[in-house]
Homo-oligomer: A and B are copies of this chain.
Amino acid sequence: MTNLLLKNVRPMGQTATDLAITDGLFAKMAAPGAEEIDCGGRILIPGLVEAHTHLDKSLLGLPWYRNEVGPRLIDKITNEREVKVALGLDPRVQSERQSIQSMGFGTTHIRSHVDVDTHHGLAGIEGVMATREKLAGYVDIEIVAFPQSGMITRPGTVEMMDAALAMGAEVVGGLDPCGIDRDPRAHLDAIFGLAEKHGKPIDIHLHERDLLGGYSTEEIIARTLAHGMQGKVTISHAFCLGGMDRSYVGALQEQLAEARIHIITTAPASAPVPAVKELKELGILTGSGSDGFRDTWGPYGNGDMLERAMFIGQRNNLRRDDEVEIALDICTFGGAAIMELKGYGLAPGDKADAVLVEGETLTDAVVSRAPRKLVLKGGKVTARDGTCVLEAP
């Protein structure tokens, strides 16, 4: 393993210094013979954390997909299930393509929801697991077993979720208990039951807005407390927290904080979103992700978590430098805390997962989104000048 000495580097935009990396960890002193890298005064941040994406279904590398899908959520879900077959989408190949693109942008950790349904069975889980194994040491991938097409409405799905978790998916997924599964009690009992059986955390998609999403959130809070799962449950999207009735939302957020439920927001421009500054004030751990991108849902997105920090800033009207830094924190330390990553950071003893970014300040780095000069994973160079050292299939 190469030992490094990063010369003239500014950790988190602070004063320039030298940083040693020994045996894959940041160290107080350079090892003898450590290879020196001149960082040219650039800023070093810990590896970007992609805490919500869908590795199994991007269309990267395929001919352009002309999107003509209908406006409802269920239109997109149905279309996707069918198009996957028509295009012969291979989750192994697609997840490798997307992971490599993300690595080029400085992502070192990915939490991916992976579809589990009666149509495609466990093919998605198997494909992403193959990519995880192939890319071990380059990027860490965590798998959420995700019942995209519903569980209760499609008998057999719960059993497949069970199998996915037994195979090695680390997190129990879920989806709109009212809006998609039309049976919140059965849906939530199922996922909390799977979580208890496998001793694994939960990360549930919740697109439901306003009082409907509020109702589902209340039910999630109740089960989190009943199962003693404080600190082990995440709600992704949580559009209901962007609702207009701020006194109701405020009360709900206090209950979320008490139950130590985490929030992951992708900060979409067209949907109500959780107010990240309010979450921070309440001590609610907040992470972010690209969501699915370049897929049958829509053409946007590229996996750049620095750009995602910009989107969070724009969506939450964060204009002051100290506010934009909150957005970046969500895309680094926030996601890392939710995923309970060990040794995440730039302190001595932390794993040397880090990104050298361009810019005078952290805010400059976020809004400029210049190609990443260098990406390290466990002290190994995984990308240079915006390009991953691995070639996509």
A residues within 8 Å of B by Cβ? 63-64, 66-69, 244, 267-271, 294, 297-302, 310-311, 313-317, 319-322, 324, 360-361, 363-364, 366-368
How far apart are the CA atoms of A364 and B294 in the complex, in Å?
9
Residues of chain B lying within 8 A (CB to CB) of residue A300:
310, 313-314, 367
Central interface residue in A270, A297, A316, A360, by most chain B CB within 10 Å:
A270
Which residue of B68, B317, B320 is within 8 Å of A67 (Cβ)? B320
Q: How far is the CA of A68 from the CA of B269 in the complex (A)?
A: 24
Chain B residue nearest to A293 in the complex (CB): B367
Question: A363 to nearest B CB, angstroms?
Answer: 5
Asked if residues A270 and B316 are in contact (CB atoms below 8 Å), the reply is yes
Instruction: Tell me the smallest distance from the CB of A369 to a CB of chain B, in Å.
Output: 9
Task: Specify which chain B residues have a CB less than 8 angstroms from the CB of A310 in the assembled complex.
Answer: 300
A363 contacts across to B, CB distance below 8 A:
64, 67, 299
Say yes or no: B361 contacts A66, CB within 8 Å.
yes
Indicate if the CB atoms of A68 and B320 lie closer than 8 Å: yes
List 8 A–B pairs whose Cβ atoms lie within 8 Å, in order of A's numbering. Answer: A67-B321, A67-B363, A68-B320, A69-B319, A269-B311, A297-B319, A299-B324, A301-B367
B367/A299 in contact, CB under 8 A:
yes
Nearest CB on B from A81, distance (A): 17
Residue of B nearest to A313 (CB): B300
A305 to B319, CA, bound (A): 21
Shortest beta-carbon distance from A26 to chain B in Å: 26
Residue in B closest to A301 when the chains form the complex, CB atoms: B367
Complex Cα spacing A297 to B360, Å: 18
**The residue from B66, B317, B364 contacting A270, defined by CB atoms under 8 A apart:** B317
How far is the CB of A63 from the nearest CB of chain B, in Å?
Answer: 7
CB atoms of B66 and A321 under 8 A apart? yes
Residues from chain B with a CB closer than 8 A to the CB of A64 are 360-361, 363-364
Query: What is the distance, in angstroms, from A276's C-beta to the closest C-beta of chain B?
Result: 12
Closest 10 CB pairs of A and B: A270-B317, A298-B319, A269-B269, A64-B360, A269-B314, A269-B315, A299-B367, A67-B320, A66-B321, A64-B361
